[in-house]
Amino acid sequence: TMLGVVTTDALVNSDVWRKMVQVAVNRSFNQITVDGDTSTNDTVIALASGLSGASRISSVNCNEAMQLQACLDAVMQGLAKSIAWDGEGATCLIEVTVIGADSEVESAKIARAVASSSLVKAAVYGRDPNWGRIACAAGYAGISFDLNKLRIMLGDILLMDGGQPLPFDRVAASNYLKKAGEIHGTVTIHISVGDGPGNGRAWGCDLSYDYVKINAEYTT
Amino acid sequence: VSSSLKEASKYIPAAPILLPEGPWKQIPGGVTAAEGFNAAGIFGGLRAKGEKPDLALVTCDVDAISAGAFTTNVVAAAPVIYCKKALNISKTARAVLINAGQANAATGDAGYQDVVECANTVAMLLKMKPEEVLIESTGVVGQRIKKDALLNSLPRLVNSLSSSAEGADSAAVAITTTDLVRKSVAVESQVGGKIIRVGGMAKGSGMIHPNMA
């Protein structure tokens, strides 16, 4: 289960605040995954006191609303990433960025499919730069794209381009994963699926033996 | 109170918060950074074992404009059902009570009554309307909350409320379950040329694939 409480002293109308919060949730908490289990209790409550003295925000289509939305997105993304970073048994955070789909929603869906893949997660834990599993997860996300435009980078190592697997330094790629695991850092997977305007990100973590151990013991 | 909040906040280390770049500055305080908010986290005896804080409260000095996003899991927990109703009744809220240890999910009508009783008791102590009190629970699915221990801890929880960073950090500890770190962050930025603050806390480590709406 994830729970969140977010507070602000901005002055904002109820309908505007409720829309902004859902947008921020979709760009943050709804883009993380540890084990693919959607909890019975997931909740984010967001409260705005209006005590900052700033002017009232009464529409989502104004500069002030965009400034507040950006802050709200940042706080929720910071918290959401810390949840994925602290996934049970995790040794590193996995950040998946997808560009080139037709919309933000489509890119986000591909990114989350990759971040949710047990095979990708286990490959990261095994320090295996397994581009095939990344491509496979992108392919089953339910978003169509031209395979010949598929490009995959692990960190700054290019693994696939134009849909073709490339020769790459496997030891360097594996060491990149090993180092991230040693410092509980971040593994970045960057995927391009075409020339569309949509960009999206998702966050997850690697899948270790400890995840099974923790959950075999944490019983009802 | 301050020393007990400080002690509670140090129970587990802070998570590294990877904030995206932007026109904001990270500031201390989490949920209490914004003007008008108070928080506290205490040990209420709710967890199966150990003495880690397990009961948190966040309050606002004024009627705060409220919003919520909730699991779309059909087997929604009692606090989720309660909060959705409360947000439909009222556009504002004044308090969020959070317990760790039991999720109060798949607990039927009895579990729902537990939520109502907790909200009513917090409302009575804080002199608010029950629908202004929102509830979040986390922990073992299928178990009802340890209601007596929770209700008996409420006066001490209310007396521990603080607008300090320790208040926010102790609350961030009290909402955790299998988390290894507490998750809390706040930023300061400009909106329309005026300084505003946005802060928050979160928990989560397992059963994580949110689809909230």
Q: Shortest Cα distance from B181 to chain A (angstroms)? A: 7
Distance of CA A32 to the CA centre of its chain: 5
Summarised one tens digit per residue, pLDDT across range B74-122 is 999 999 999 999 999 999 999 999 999 999 999 999 999 999 999 999 9
Q: Residue holding tokens 């909200």?
A: B119
Q: Number of Cβ pairs closer than 8 Å across A and B? A: 321
Q: Cβ contacts (< 8 Å) between A183 and chain B: which residues?
A: none
User: For B19, which residue in chain A has the nearest alpha carbon?
Assistant: A78
- Cβ atoms within 10 Å, residue A166: 13
**Annotated catalytic residue A91:** no
Q: pLDDT over 70 for what percent of chain B?
A: 100
A3 and B60 within 8 Å at the Cβ level: the answer is no
Band of the pLDDT at A136, cuts 50, 70, 90? very high
Query: Measured at the alpha carbon of residue B78, what is the angle toward residues A42 and B169, in degrees to the nearest 5?
Result: 50
Burial class (CB in 10 A: 0-12, 13-18, 19+), B64: buried
Please report the pLDDT score of residue B131 as a whole number. 93
Task: List the beta bridge partners of residue B190.
Answer: B195
Q: Which residues in A lie closer than 8 A to residue B211 (C-beta atoms)? A: 30, 38, 42
- Of B33, B71, B92, Cβ closest to residue A39: B71
What sign results for the dihedral spanned by CA atoms B176, B177, B181, B183? negative
C-beta of residue B46 within 8 angstroms of C-beta of residue B150: yes
What confidence score (pLDDT) does residue B142 get? 93
Asked whether the beta carbons of B99 and B46 are under 8 A apart, the reply is yes
Helix (H, G, I), strand (E, B) or coil at B12: coil
Q: Within 13 A of B159's CA, how many CA atoms are on the CB side?
A: 7
pLDDT at A37 over 80: yes
Report residue B6's pLDDT band, with 50, 70 and 90 as the boundaries.
confident
| Per-residue exposure over B113-145, b if at least 16 CB sit within 10 Å of its own CB, e if not | ebbeebbebbbebbebbbbbbbbbbbbbbebbb
Contact B202 A67 (CB under 8 A): no
Distances (CA, A) of B64 to A70, A119, B97: 20, 44, 15
Distance from CA of A16 to the nearest CA of B (A): 10
For the cut 70, the answer to whether the pLDDT of residue A219 exceeds it is no
pLDDT in tens, B147-181: 999 999 999 999 999 999 999 999 999 999 999 99
Report CA dihedral (A153, A157, A159, A164) to the nearest 10 degrees.
Answer: 90
Q: What is the pLDDT of residue A220?
A: 58
Q: Which chain A residue has its CA at the smallest distance from B140's CA?
A: A220
Interface contact flag, A74 B79, Cβ < 8 Å: no
Residue B172 and residue B183 in contact, taking contact as beta carbons nearer than 8 Å? yes
Strands, E assignment, chain B: 24-27, 37-42, 55-70, 92-102, 133-140, 183-191, 194-203
> Quick one: average pLDDT of A126-148?
97
**A183 at B interface, C-beta within 8 A:** no
Alpha helix ranges (H) inside A44-195: 63-85, 104-116, 118-125, 131-139, 170-182
Residue A145 touches chain B, beta carbons under 8 Å: no
Q: How far apart are the first and last CA of chain A?
A: 14
- pLDDT at residue B4 greater than cutoff 90: no
Q: What is the mean pLDDT of chain B?
A: 96
Q: Residue A58: its chain B contacts at CB < 8 A?
A: none
Distance of CA B59 to the CA centre of its chain: 9
- Closest in B104, B199, B212 to A75, CB measured: B199
C-beta of residue B204 within 8 angstroms of C-beta of residue B179: yes
Enumerate the β-bridge partners of residue B42: B55
Query: Cβ–Cβ of B202/A38 closer than 8 Å?
Result: no
Our CA-based measurement puts residue B59 at a distance from the nearest CA of chain A, in whole angstroms, of 10
Q: Which of A18, A70, A186 is closest, CB to CB, to B22?
A: A70
Among B21, B140, B196, the residue to mutate for chain A (most A Cβ within 10 A):
B196
Of A5, A30, A84, the CB nearest to B31: A5
Please choose, from the candidates B104, B122, B98, B114, the residue with its C-alpha nearest in 3D space to the C-alpha of residue B171: B98
Res B1 pLDDT > 80 = no
Structure tokens at A57: 């925000």
Taking the CA of residue B47 as centre, how many other CA atoms within 13 Å lie in the half-sphere pointing to its CB?
Answer: 17
Tell me how far apart the terminal alpha carbons of chain B are, to the nearest angstrom. 37
Q: Which residue of B has its CA nearest to A46?
A: B67
Determine the pLDDT at residue B189: 98
Pick from B15, B66, B203: which is nearest to A3 by CB? Answer: B203
Picking from B75, B138, B186, the nearest residue to A3 by CB comes out as B138
Query: Chain A contacts of B186, Cβ < 8 Å?
Result: 75
Q: By three-state DSSP, how is residue B118 classified? A: helix
* Per-residue pLDDT, B48: 84
Report d(CA A155, CA A139) in Å as an integer: 20
- What is the arithmetic mean of pLDDT over A5-27? 98
pLDDT at A193 over 80: yes
Residues 6+ apart with CB under 8 A from A167: none
Q: At B90, which helix (H) or strand (E)?
A: none
Contact B76 A40 (CB under 8 A): yes
- Residue percentage of chain A with pLDDT more than 70: 99
Q: Which of A1, A38, A219, A220 is catalytic?
A: A1
Question: Are A57 and B191 inside 8 Å of each other by CB?
Answer: yes
- Tell me the pLDDT tens digit for each residue of A102-131: 999 999 999 999 999 999 999 999 999 999
DSSP string, A8-75: E---B-HHHHHHHHHHHHHTTGGGB-SSSPPPS--EEEEEE--TT-PPPB--SSSHHHHHHHHHHHHH
